[in-house]
Amino acid sequence: MAKTEIVSPIASAAHSASGVVYVVDDDDQMRGALVSLLRSIDLEVKAFGSAEQFLAAPKGPRPACLVLDVRLRGQSGLALQKSLLEQECAAMPIVFMTGHGDIAMTVEAMKAGAMDFLTKPFREQDMIDAVRSALDRDARHFAEDSSLIEVRERWASLTPREREVLTHVAAGLLNKQIAAEMGIAEVTVKIHRGQAMRKMNVRSVADLVRRTEALGVKIVGGR
């Protein structure tokens, strides 16, 4: 494979988003240059010479992105992208790079969810910007997923009666209306409502509605 170079200079080496960057390129010179570049902006980088090595490596639950060469010995970059779509790291943003790119290849990669496509040789700053954007996007997704997990755990901590009360609250019913619907005393509704709102860590009905919608909870029709 012909050697390629990254075009300098770097615009600035400002601190970027936290996370890990996986680099997959079978060109030793290019792979080493990318590792040095990305580490120069304080990013953690793990590099691999083949798709097979990358797939075999453990990947922790943290924001990440993949800088991937299209043409690799063995499984190609596009084939690796398709493999990832079938695995738990399918949402990992991919920044493709190639020295032999064409329109059809770019379209195929983008349709499959690639975040960016850089043609070698490229400017260092273009790669830095692409990686930062990819990590930022994955960090947002990671935070959203983590938040949803917390909401699910909070919902699971509720008693069946507390859940029933909250679905009525989210539908806009008053305590007296909920009491009539459920056939219980209004003071009992107040107790269940207060305990459930604390467990869900919500302070308003609007916040409760957002959380129940995120969970896909079926809301009882209001009046």
In a domain, 11, yes or no: no
**Number of domains the chain contains:** 2
Which distant-in-sequence residues (6+ apart) come within 8 Å of 22 by Cβ?
Answer: 45, 46, 47, 48, 54, 59, 64, 65, 66, 67, 92
pLDDT band of 14, cuts 50, 70, 90? very low
98 CB burial (10 A radius; 0-12, 13-18, 19+): buried
pLDDT at residue number 220 = 58
pLDDT band of 223, cuts 50, 70, 90? very low
> What DSSP state is assigned to residue 101?
-
Question: pTM for the whole thing?
Answer: 0.63
67 beta partners = 23, 95
pLDDT at residue number 109 = 80
In the block, residue with structure tokens 């997990």: 149
In a domain, 7, yes or no: no
Mean pLDDT across the stretch 11-22? 58
Tens of pLDDT along 51-62? 999 998 888 778
In a domain, 152, yes or no: no
**Ranges 44-48, 180-184, 203-207: which has the least confidence:** 203-207
Do 93 and 197 lie in one domain? The reply is no
pLDDT at residue number 151 = 84
pLDDT at residue number 89 = 62
Does 90 have pLDDT greater than 70?
Answer: no
Domain range for 168: 157-215
Tens of pLDDT along 115-158? 898 988 899 999 999 999 999 998 888 877 777 778 888 899 99
Do 139 and 176 lie in one domain? The reply is no
Does 5 have pLDDT greater than 50?
Answer: no
Length of the chain: 223
DSSP labels, 7-46? BPPPS------SSEEEEE-S-HHHHHHHHHHHHTTT-EEE
Q: Where are the beta strands (DSSP E) in the chain?
A: 20-24, 44-48, 64-69, 94-98, 116-119
As a whole number of Å, the CA-based R_g of the chain is 25
pLDDT band of 3, cuts 50, 70, 90? very low
In a domain, 29, yes or no: yes
Which distant-in-sequence residues (6+ apart) come within 8 Å of 129 by Cβ?
Answer: none
Do 130 and 94 lie in one domain? The reply is yes
CATH at 200: 1.10.10.10
CATH at 115: 3.40.50.2300
> What DSSP state is assigned to residue 216?
T
In the three-class reduction of DSSP (H, G, I as helix; E, B as strand; rest coil), residue 219 is classed as: coil
pLDDT band of 26, cuts 50, 70, 90? very high
Please state, in angstroms and rounded to a whole number, the distance separating the CA atoms of residues 206 and 76.
48
The answer to whether the beta carbons of residues 75 and 52 sit under 8 Å apart is yes
In a domain, 40, yes or no: yes
User: Starting at the edge strand that comes first in sequence, how are the strands of the sheet with 94-98 ordered?
Assistant: 44-48, 20-24, 64-69, 94-98, 116-119
pLDDT at residue number 4 = 41
pLDDT band of 101, cuts 50, 70, 90? low
Does 6 have pLDDT greater than 70?
Answer: no
